[in-house]
Structure 1
Amino acid sequence: MALSKAPSVAHVRVDEGSAGQRIDNFLVRVCKGVPKSHIYRILRSGEVRVNSKRVAQTYRLQEGDELRIPPIRLAEKADVPPVPVGKPFDIVFEDDALLVLDKPAGLAVHGGSGVSFGVIEQLRRQRPEAKFLELVHRLDRETSGLLIVAKKRSALTVLHDMMREGRVHKRYLTLVAGRWLNLQQHIKLALHKYLTEGGERRVSVSPEGKPAHSIVRLVKRWQSCSLVEVELKTGRTHQIRVHLSHSGFPLFGDDKYGDFALNKQLEKAGLKRMFLHAAKLGFRHPLTDQEIELASPLPAELEAFVVSVEQNEEREYG
């Protein structure tokens, strides 16, 4: 539910989808456009009431709670174009607690940072009846493949714990420049996040960064490049891209950490995107404990590029 711009008291009943969420985070979500500082001010002042009582900002909502939210006047903003319904996503797995979709490359997982909408906004637009849809994890905009979305807060909470504890197994396929020699290799390099002068997020290998662990397995190699599978033991931002680039094997088509001159050649040869695909997921269901193993084949454009690599190598090296 989003609050109206009209200055009137809102009364909200907490449903199953919002149960367990902290009240400050709930208000940030429903009071769209209201600064966080104002949210905390109305909580501290007692203007927000839960079952007619004042609560702290750390209070966790219970199903059936009755909220009173005071009048909040928002500054008028320019009209924002509606989120397009778009083409339905390819759903790989779904039950009443979660779904896993096959994200196409080129689509952000959520709006922000100059992007007006992403997968989650489009999914909510496609499913207006859904009470709760939240991303469990993220994929880079140019990465395709398996993405988990929670349909219940209880599932989201457990899945986040599982992610932190390394109990969600994620494997990616990528094509890198150079001949990868080892059948299996562990990369343990700490990663540090920073912003460029232009405000773009970047990651570098640094002893001051957070621990990061990738396991790289060779799938196939040619003279000029290698197809590898990367298993993530940690889930740091841009982990695969930075680990492999730092090791001397930049991802094909990577516009942040890759070989830019090579990328131009690859684009002429038909590769129009970064070659990174979230191919496998394995985890126990957060509510039923059922073992779930999911796989997504390489998208057609990546599969076609691998075929062209094989054909070119055969012609050049026999």
Structure 2
Amino acid sequence: MQHLTVDEGGAGQRLDNFLIKVLKGAPKTLVYRIIRSGEVRVNKGRAAADTRLEVGDEVRVPPLRLTEKTENVAPAREFPVLFEDEYLLAINKPAGVAVHGGSGVSHGVIEQLRRARPQAKFLELVHRLDKETSGILLIAKKRGALVALQDYFRHRQAHKTYATLVIGAWPEQKKVIDVALHKYLTAEGERRVKAVAQDDDAGRRSISIVRVVQRYEQYSLLDVTIKTGRTHQIRVHLSHEGHPIVGDDKYGDFALNKQLAKGDARFVRMFLHARYLRLPHPVTGEDLVLEAPIPPDCQALLDTLS
């Protein structure tokens, strides 16, 4: 029998989420079964899965036989740090790494960071980046910071700018894309997004601001600032305008992507990089400005185009 005392890291969490995190390797079905059966007790009483825990609560957990497959254990890994204090961590996420496990990915950034920092009581993703996207990613180190930071994103107090290379000459006068987006699943179960009419009931209004940074013979380097944070927003918006992102394997020019992979730069990723983020600090309220330089592989492609 385990008797767990809730600390600041678990305060405010639902009981089910707390147990899933603490009982590493336990299937979710098992966690919900022991809660429903009353085998889990909070302060000696029965509790529901959605019970919110507070600092000092005692959670009693029955003996469990857990088998954790070693091949699914996330390897410990640190990532380039852009900023860190006792409340939050900002890293420069590489392309090709998921932010968390799931949907066929056994582990991601957050699982690897937790393995690398076993002494950390609390590490949680503030927001998401696509697996193929590189750049600034925020991780909260305290629950209060997580709540405050997510509020900033929700209420558009977080200003995010992405660097991206698109095919063709982006029209100078095209500075705002205000096109609704609809998220759906393909027949194979893959997540996709498409542009729809503004009055489409399934669509959600989505706004991107575009600025041309540099023009090349057949490409345009853009800064895209998003006013809404929809899934695949930049990728679909730019593709919808007839200028897909270089290397995009879902909404891009697949033939051109193959050519670039075999070309001088050997470019094999999507050219989308979260390069700038400005938002208030979750505790001091002061402006926090974060910047991540263009990755070497993206810069090498730009040098080749020059």
TM over 0.5: yes
Q: CA deviation at 1:132?
A: 0.9
**CA distance in structure 2 between the partners assigned to 1:110 and 1:57 by the alignment:** 23
Q: CA deviation at 1:47?
A: 2.7
1:215 corresponds, among 194, 197, 209, to 209
Q: Would you say 1:84 and 2:78 are equivalent positions?
A: no
SS at match of 2:161: strand
Identify the residue that residue 19 of structure 1 maps to in structure 2: 11
1:279 corresponds, among 275, 282, 296, to 275
**CA distance in structure 1 between the partners assigned to 2:279 and 2:143 by the alignment:** 18
1:307 corresponds, among 282, 303, 306, to 303
Identify the residue that residue 233 of structure 2 maps to in structure 1: 239
Identify the residue that residue 52 of structure 1 maps to in structure 2: 44
- Seen in structure 2, the aligned counterparts of structure 1 residues 125 and 57 have a Cα distance that, compared at 3 Å, is closer
Q: CA deviation at 1:95?
A: 0.5
Q: CA deviation at 1:43?
A: 3.2
Q: CA deviation at 1:251?
A: 0.2
Q: Would you say 1:145 and 2:139 are equivalent positions?
A: no
* Partners of 2:82 and 2:290 within 8 A in 1: yes
SS at match of 1:193: strand
* Paired AA for residue 257 in structure 2: N
Q: Deviations over 1:114-145 (max 9, x none)?
A: 22221111111221111111111111112111
Pairing 1:18-37 to 2, within 5 Å after superposition: 18-37=10-29
Bigger drift between 35-44 and 248-257 goes to 35-44
**CA distance in structure 1 between the partners assigned to 2:25 and 2:206 by the alignment:** 35
Q: CA deviation at 1:215?
A: 1.0
* Partners of 1:85 and 1:126 within 8 A in 2: yes
Pairing 1:238-277 to 2, within 5 Å after superposition: 238-269=232-263, 270=265, 271-277=267-273
* Partners of 1:214 and 1:231 within 8 A in 2: yes
Q: CA deviation at 1:85?
A: 2.7
**CA distance in structure 1 between the partners assigned to 2:270 and 2:25 by the alignment:** 34
* Paired AA for residue 118 in structure 1: G
Identify the residue that residue 94 of structure 2 maps to in structure 1: 104
* Partners of 2:257 and 2:268 within 8 A in 1: no
**CA distance in structure 2 between the partners assigned to 1:58 and 1:108 by the alignment:** 28
Bigger drift between 241-250 and 52-61 goes to 52-61
Q: Deviations over 1:145-176 (max 9, x none)?
A: 11000111111111112211111111100000
Q: CA deviation at 1:187?
A: 1.1
Q: CA deviation at 1:102?
A: 0.5
SS at match of 2:118: coil
* Paired AA for residue 99 in structure 1: L
Pairing 1:87-166 to 2, within 5 Å after superposition: 88-166=78-156
Bigger drift between 117-126 and 180-189 goes to 180-189
SS at match of 1:187: strand
* Partners of 2:5 and 2:56 within 8 A in 1: yes
Identify the residue that residue 6 of structure 1 maps to in structure 2: none
- Seen in structure 2, the aligned counterparts of structure 1 residues 203 and 36 have a Cα distance that, compared at 3 Å, is same
- TM-score for the superposition, normalised by structure 2: 0.91
Report how many aligned residue pairs link the two structures.
300
- TM-score for the superposition, normalised by structure 1: 0.88
List alignment gaps of at least 5 residues for structure 2: none
* Partners of 1:184 and 1:218 within 8 A in 2: no
* Partners of 2:279 and 2:288 within 8 A in 1: yes
* Partners of 1:183 and 1:217 within 8 A in 2: no
Q: CA deviation at 1:36?
A: 4.1
Bigger drift between 234-243 and 185-194 goes to 185-194
* Partners of 1:215 and 1:233 within 8 A in 2: yes
List alignment gaps of at least 5 residues for structure 1: 1-8, 311-318
SS at match of 1:83: coil
Q: Would you say 1:194 and 2:188 are equivalent positions?
A: no
- Seen in structure 2, the aligned counterparts of structure 1 residues 32 and 122 have a Cα distance that, compared at 3 Å, is closer
* Paired AA for residue 136 in structure 1: V
